[in-house]
Amino acid sequence: MFCPECGSTDTPMVGGICQNCFLKKFSILEIPENIELTICAHCNAKFEEGKWEELEIPEEEIIYRALEKSIKVDPQVDEDKLHVELEIVQMRGIIAECHIEAKTEIFNETLEQSFDTEVRLMKSVCPTCSKQRSSYYEAVIQFRVDNRELTSEEVEKADEIVVKVLNNRFERDRLAYLVQKAKLKEGNDYYIGSYKSGKKVVEAIQEEFGGIIKESPRLISQDKSTGKGLYRIWISIRLPNFKKGDFIRYNNVDNEILAIDGKRILMKNLKTFKKVPVQWKEYDSIEYLKNYEDIQTTTLISISPSTIQLLDPDDYSVVDIEVNNNFKSLEIGEEVNVIKIENNIYLLEFNEE
């Protein structure tokens, strides 16, 4: 049998022609002359199959991935024996001129081929970047406190938490950004791009300070394509009117605040020194009494097996306090701290075992 193209009779036949003629026509790869991509001009997100994919990779890597995806290998090529090298020769504006080298072994022959193509980067703006640049926000965090002003320390710490949480979440949520911070008489408002990230910020603030969280959705517009309402969420985090070291009344018992976090308020009975954890759902049952700055100093004048006597810090009258194990190490003449609440004086300074 002879080859109809070259007349050879001593070469193996492939597809009706000799192997040599076949290899002359054979292409290891199939590559389009022009490849078009739509990417975001700001973040390099890629638009494909009707949706945006957030890649967060350099433009050069996007081009290489587009080349790899566009290359089709002839089914007769053993991919284990295939070696392909990609190169971006130069950039001309939005066009990347690319060169591809392919090498493989077929029919016991080594075959090397070169290809050239262009990758055209069509620049657009993805929805996320469009939202960022239009100061879009989904949540407003209202940082408030009951019946007092926020301290400078509380405001500074809240600012730190907002920045830290949003920075930590930005890789997974590109709407995790602060649009605006508004300083109001009643507290601070933080405008957050993403509701989910806003929720995480509020949870972190509550973990630091405690407090009550409430949400209030507000209809702002309607999605024309789906007909569904579009909402913004106002998230209020309301701190208590007391702080660590202050004095409160709970279940008709006077207590000192030992600690506050997102789960509970830890208080100590001023008479028995028993520690009592209270959940935030009981917050409205707590009555604020005195600030830690209201603590006064007085002198211990007498100790008996059952009673300690000290001077009222205001009128210097003698006050009897029942002895308990916490007062064993006290000595006559010692200066001690007390808090006066209504008609009661509570001794605060003692040695715990």
Establish if 113 belongs to a structural domain. Answer: yes
Q: Domains in the chain: how many in total?
A: 4
Q: What is the pLDDT of residues 73-119, one digit of tens each?
A: 998 888 889 999 999 999 998 999 999 999 998 888 888 999 999 99
Q: Both 18 and 123 in a single domain?
A: yes
Q: Both 62 and 149 in a single domain?
A: no
CB 192 within 8 A of CB 178: yes
Confidence (pLDDT) at 264: 93
Q: Both 182 and 89 in a single domain?
A: no
Establish if 83 belongs to a structural domain. Answer: yes
Which residues, given as ranges, of the chain have pLDDT below 70?
A: 1, 7, 222-227, 229, 349-353
Establish if 162 belongs to a structural domain. Answer: yes
Confidence (pLDDT) at 352: 46
Q: Both 267 and 301 in a single domain?
A: no
Establish if 123 belongs to a structural domain. Answer: yes
Confidence (pLDDT) at 223: 63
Confidence (pLDDT) at 351: 45
Confidence (pLDDT) at 350: 56
Confidence (pLDDT) at 353: 40
Q: Both 110 and 174 in a single domain?
A: no
Q: Both 61 and 109 in a single domain?
A: yes
Q: Which domain holds residue 225?
A: 137-239
Establish if 87 belongs to a structural domain. Answer: yes
Longest dimension (CA), the chain: 129
Pick the last residue of a domain from 93, 127, 161.
127
Establish if 7 belongs to a structural domain. Answer: no
Q: Both 282 and 223 in a single domain?
A: no
Count of beta carbons in the 10 Å neighbourhood of residue 65: 15
Q: Both 158 and 208 in a single domain?
A: yes
CATH number for the domain that contains residue 251: 2.30.30
Q: Both 266 and 208 in a single domain?
A: no
Establish if 6 belongs to a structural domain. Answer: no
CATH number for the domain that contains residue 335: 2.40.50.140
Q: How far apart are CA 285 and CA 58, in angstroms?
A: 57
Confidence (pLDDT) at 227: 66
Q: How far apart are CA 120 and CA 95, in angstroms?
A: 4
Establish if 2 belongs to a structural domain. Answer: no
Q: Both 28 and 100 in a single domain?
A: yes
Pick the last residue of a domain from 239, 259, 277.
239
Q: Both 111 and 67 in a single domain?
A: yes
Pick the last residue of a domain from 84, 102, 127.
127
> What is the pTM for the complete model shown?
0.68
Confidence (pLDDT) at 349: 60
For 264, the token pair is 């509970």
Q: Both 20 and 117 in a single domain?
A: yes
